[in-house]
Amino acid sequence: MNAQQLKALNKDILINEITDPSFLRYGKVIPFSIFEIYANYLHQHTRVPETLNQYIADDPKIHEVFPKHPLIMDIFEDIPLEYGYVNGNNSTLNALEFHPSAEINIAATPLVLMLGHTDDINDLSYDVKNLEAFYLPANTAIVIFPT
């Protein structure tokens, strides 16, 4: 599904393109070419379930096939990294997460990310009206800032 189709089906949600300047508050687009081996592994060795999601926090086989790249070292330095993935078809916002460090997201297929700022967390709660939606086309890589 492309961005226009998603926007038409979700008229009550403003879905921005990842190139929209508003995304720069949350992260930045990085070269996908660095992650082609990663995406190829996902296409060849994983499947998208018909319903729900499959979440693998860390797949040791990806560590074997994905070479360390200087950009990744620039972002994370010596922090131990997890190379995982989420496969699925989801239409429900049922959880939010935040990370104390940056996170790289690789869109092997199109996806929409709902992003917000940790500044908006009050008493361990987050009001979803503060979320912003961003469409990532297939073959897009981004780094999300820890805020």
- The string of pLDDT tens digits covering residues 55-77 is 999 999 999 998 888 999 899 98
What backbone torsions phi and psi does residue 36 show, to the nearest 5 degrees? Answer: -60, -40
61, containing H or E segment? helix 60-65
Model pTM score = 0.90
Contact 20, 142 (CB under 8 A): no
Structure tokens at 34: 């660095």
> Closest Cα partner for 43 from 21, 24, 65?
65
- The string of pLDDT tens digits covering residues 17-57 is 999 999 999 999 999 999 999 999 999 999 999 888 899 99
> Closest Cα partner for 104 from 74, 135, 142?
142
